[in-house]
Amino acid sequence: MAAADSKTGEGMQWAAITGVIATVSVFAIAQGLSYPLLSFILQRQGVSPAMIGLSAAMTPIGFIVSSPLIPGLARRFGAGRTALTCAALSAVVLALIGWTQNVYLWFPLRFLIGVVTNPLYVLSEIWVIALAPPARRGRIMGVYSTIISAGFAAGPLCLLAVGTQGWPPFLVGICAFVLCGMCLASVLPRLPKVDEAGHRVSVLGFVPMAWLLLLAVIVAAGFEQGALALLPVYGNHYGIAEARMSALLSMMIAGNIAMQVPLGLLAERLTARLVRLACVSLTVLGCVLLPLLIETPLIWPMIFVWGAVSYGIYTMSIIELGERFTGSTLVAGNAAFSLMWGVGGIAVPPLAGSAMDILGARGLPITLCLMCLALTVASLAGRAKA
């Protein structure tokens, strides 16, 4: 009887994990669709590239602003109610964006969509961490990272099917957010309580508790956003065609998608901290090899591995977060991760771009390398103290 109850409980746990991952995958498709869609629309309206970039920055700014509010919202209204409300509000805001079609009105609306989608993403990630059995947390978070990346990559592919004109692409995004809420509602009774009262930790209060993890998130976000934004510019310096650079970026994303589960399995055999150190060390090596291999066929396997290990820094940090923290501290920690992801994504691309203005093309690998080296040194110092 006890064995049957145990199997039933384990089955419910896996059903809940599957439901939450389905929720986040649909969310990722909606987000991945909206970024290029809005850029295409603004481009057709004759809006300048600088204004398009500034408009796109409103969403990560919304992430940054909303992150410190998530622990309080989860405590006051409950994590489940907060996430469901945010799914509904995301659909409403996206509908307003489709209705207005005005670059100036899109600034506050894109900020709002960052504010309302961030709690949904953060709380879903917390549920996956809390539900994952410790012995299998590495592979589960690897699957989670893979599906998130695949969802973001699938978003733009939806535009190939429905186009970028009129309401159809917006309806796909709106329906995705509604489906996201439905997936979440179906598993809500099975989700663990992550918003309990007791010892309360704020997002800023979490920083000294795990500053190295937060630095790793800044580096992972900054690397991803900097590479995606500036690798085409870097390739142009070498006279590489846009089509080839687009293919290289796709190869980088493919490495990200394909290798998170193997990295998670490796973290189970070793430790997440050790695998993260290996990932950041290999990322530094990739920065050194980039100018040497960019014009050779060896760039293809190199950039595949580069994409895998650079995003692996974040995956390993999430695994370690789940190993070290629970309850309200985990909520604050994951909100802090979201905040630092926004900081890294906003700060590093302009920094690397400025370095390229001063140093030429080599400014990109130098900036990324120095950033990763700082994390390597900090990680080794942290291990020495441990």
Region 273-284: mean pLDDT is 95
Ranges for all domains in the chain classified under CATH 1.20.1250.20: 13-197, 199-385
pLDDT at 9: 52
Report the percent of the chain where pLDDT is more than 70. Answer: 93
Task: Please state which CATH number belongs to domain 13-197.
Answer: 1.20.1250.20
Q: When comparing pLDDT for 198 and 111, which is higher?
A: 111
- The tens digit of pLDDT for each residue in 27-76 reads 888 877 887 788 788 878 887 766 776 787 788 889 889 989 988 888 88
pLDDT at 197: 52
Region 271-288: mean pLDDT is 94
pLDDT over 70 (residue 125): yes
Structure pTM? Answer: 0.83
3-state SS of the chain is: CHHHHHHHHHHHHHHHHHHHHHHHHHHHHHHHHHHHHHHHHHHHCCCCHHHHHHHHHHHHHHHHHHHHHHHHHHHHHCHHHHHHHHHHHHHHHHHHHHHHCCHHHHHHHHHHHHHHHHHHHHHHHHHHHHHCCHHHHHHHHHHHHHHHHHHHHHHHHHHHHHCCCCCHHHHHHHHHHHHHHHHHHHHHHHCCCCCCCCCCCCHHHHHHHCHHHHHHHHHHHHHHHHHHHHHHHHHHHCCCCHHHHHHHHHHHHHHHHHHHHHHHHHHHHCCHHHHHHHHHHHHHHHHHHHHHHCCCCCHHHHHHHHHHHHHHHHHHHHHHHHHHCCHHHHHHHHHHHHHHHHHHHHHHHHHHHHHHHHHCCCHHHHHHHHHHHHHHHHHHHHHHHC
Region 88-92: mean pLDDT is 93
pLDDT at 385: 54
pLDDT over 90 (residue 150): no
Query: If you average pLDDT over every residue of the chain, what do you get?
Result: 85
Region 4-8: mean pLDDT is 49
pLDDT at 386: 45
Model confidence at 349, in pLDDT bands (50, 70, 90)?
confident
The CATH number, out of the four listed (3.40.1210.10, 1.20.1250.20, 1.20.120.10, 3.40.50.620), of the domain defined by the range 199-385: 1.20.1250.20
Model confidence at 5, in pLDDT bands (50, 70, 90)?
very low
